[in-house]
Amino acid sequence: MTIALAGPFATLLLAGLGARVIKVENPAGGDPCRNNAPYLGIDGATLTKRHEDDISISALNRLRGKIGITLNLKEQSAQAILADLVGKSDILVENFSRGTLERLGAGYKQCKEINPRLIYCSISGFGSEGASGSGKDMDTIIQALSGVMLVSGASADPPIRVGLPLADLCTPLFGVIGILTALRQLQMTGVGQYVDVSMMGVLTMMLAAEPYDILERCGIPQRTGDTVPRLAPMGIYPTQDGHVAICAPTQAFAKALFDAMKQPGLATDPRFETRDLRVKNVDELDALVRSFTGSMPTQEIVSRLEQSGVPAAEVRGPATAFRDPGVVSRRETVPLVHPKYGNVDDVRGMGIPIKFSNASVGLEDSAPMLGEHNDFVYGELLGYSPEKIKELKANSVI
């Protein structure tokens, strides 16, 4: 019972790990992600929807591997149907604003009465104690409140939103961890439970992995742009035709970098001979590194640094990274295909980035059309008669 990105991403992971996931959508339009540009159809990838059977690439990406049904919880007769679904389920995942599902008869306490073994996971902006219906459960809002925007970019920049929807993607990871832990406890106790994960909590917890406020108190700005002064030399440096990432925080890596720069004497220079001195004199050090990287093309820089044993890499765009041979071979990104027209364009989406020695994972099925599996779920799984299913459709319940 999820919408947008955070909830569907959690259930995508569960589906990829082998769970049978039934996605419940409102028959009046379905998950809002179905209307996200761009779209995939017979014409390939397009920014606007040209044909009725064009499908949002967001939906193709997030809804794969799931059984799709529709149910209008605002209809009174839907309560009994929901009870039947809950009674046959192990896990329920939702990411609506706090209080929404309680008002519709689908809150944890209501579902627990139906199925005491149920694991019920809520992914929300601020947790179960957060403001009801605040409208703030959005990735950009959480990035703003968590402090992320003021540790990204350089000191003179305005607040910068991290390009990746960080809160929407990191929070579901903790939701899945909680669900799998609750499943283990269920095996031992026979009792289900409520798993409550907040986007705000996840981002602030992750931000607290670095002592930003203490660093600023000690004279190092929270926002350091393309370098990390306290680990100098570390950062993004320009080349003749692009940029390179260099990480040389240890004594051995720094010495290797100086050798690659053909300035081995820097290793014993009074400004740079220890880690603390390199941090103290970071501006001078970074100027030297930039002069070196700016003197040749990216691939030549990377090759020279790799030969010297310095961690370095070309700064690549998503189009290249998605198609990295290693990533493709491990199926960490996978082709997205249209359910009707197949592989009509070079579009890649999320794979499952976990390898097992004695199990297989993945998302082979395409995203379901809205209500595609109503007959299967309501007929075969719940045992409703064809006449009852027809009546529910006619009354817009499903």
Based on the fold, state whether residues 111 and 134 are members of the same structural domain: yes
DSSP for 2-37 reads --TTHHHHHHHHHHHTT--EEEEE-TTT--GGGG-S
Beta-strand relationship, 91-94 and 119-124: parallel
Based on the fold, state whether residues 294 and 201 are members of the same structural domain: no
Do the domain assignments include residue 212? no
Question: Among the three residues 262, 293, 314, which one is the final residue of a domain in this structure?
Answer: 314
Cβ burial of 169 (10 Å; 0-12, 13-18, 19+) is middle
Do the domain assignments include residue 349? yes
Q: Is the dihedral of CA 71, 72, 74, 77 positive or negative?
A: negative
Give 45-74 pLDDT, tens digit per residue: 999 999 999 999 999 999 999 999 999 999
Residue ranges making up the domain that contains 134: 6-206+326-394
Question: Among the three residues 281, 314, 347, which one is the final residue of a domain in this structure?
Answer: 314
SS3 214: helix
Do the domain assignments include residue 1? no
Based on the fold, state whether residues 113 and 50 are members of the same structural domain: yes
pLDDT above 80: residue 131: no
Give 189-213 pLDDT, tens digit per residue: 999 999 999 999 999 999 999 998 8
Average pLDDT, the chain: 95
Based on the fold, state whether residues 253 and 363 are members of the same structural domain: no
Do the domain assignments include residue 98? yes
| Residue 229 φ/ψ region, left for φ over 0, alpha for ψ in the -120 to 50 degree band, beta for the rest | alpha
Based on the fold, state whether residues 309 and 331 are members of the same structural domain: no
Assign 215 a pLDDT band (cuts: 50, 70, 90): confident
Based on the fold, state whether residues 38 and 146 are members of the same structural domain: yes
Give 267-309 pLDDT, tens digit per residue: 999 999 999 999 999 999 999 999 999 999 999 999 999 999 9
Based on the fold, state whether residues 18 and 154 are members of the same structural domain: yes
Based on the fold, state whether residues 333 and 295 are members of the same structural domain: no
Q: How far is 362 from 354, CA to CA, in rounded Å?
A: 9
Query: Which CATH number belongs to the domain containing residue 82 in this structure?
Result: 3.40.50.10540
φ and ψ of 42, to 5 deg: -60, -25
Do the domain assignments include residue 62? yes
Question: Among the three residues 263, 294, 314, which one is the final residue of a domain in this structure?
Answer: 314
Based on the fold, state whether residues 20 and 153 are members of the same structural domain: yes
DSSP E strands, 164-242: 194-198, 234-238
Overall average pLDDT of the 333-344 stretch: 94
Based on the fold, state whether residues 234 and 332 are members of the same structural domain: no
Do the domain assignments include residue 211? no
Query: Which CATH number belongs to the domain containing residue 291 in this structure?
Result: 3.30.1540.10
Q: Give the per-residue pLDDT at 364.
A: 81
Based on the fold, state whether residues 274 and 385 are members of the same structural domain: no
Do the domain assignments include residue 215? no
Assign 134 a pLDDT band (cuts: 50, 70, 90): low
The domain tally of the chain equals: 2
Do the domain assignments include residue 358? yes
SS3 93: strand
Based on the fold, state whether residues 55 and 88 are members of the same structural domain: yes
